[in-house]
Amino acid sequence: MFKFILSLSVLTFVLFLNLTAVPNGEPVAAKDTTVENVTTQEQANIVSTLKDKLHSDLTEQDVIDQFGQPDQKMNDDMYGLPSFRYDFKHDEHYSLDADYQLVDMDALKNKQLEAIIYFDFDDNKNIRSAALYYVNDEQKIEEYRIFADGTEKKMEIE
Per-residue pLDDT at 29: 45
3-state secondary structure of 75: strand
Specify the number of domains making up the chain.
1
Q: Give the residue numbers spanning the domain of 87.
A: 10-156
Section 14-33 average pLDDT: 39
3-state secondary structure of 40: helix
Q: Which spans in 19-112 are helix H? A: 40-53, 60-67, 105-109
- For the stretch 109-149, pLDDT in tens is 988 889 999 999 999 999 999 999 999 989 999 999 999 99
Tell me if 112 is assigned to some domain: yes
Q: Work out the mean pLDDT of the chain and round it to a whole number.
A: 75
Tell me if 56 is assigned to some domain: yes
Per-residue pLDDT at 99: 60
With beta carbons less than 8 A apart as the criterion, state whether 75 and 81 touch.
Answer: yes
Number of H helices, E strands in the chain: 4, 6
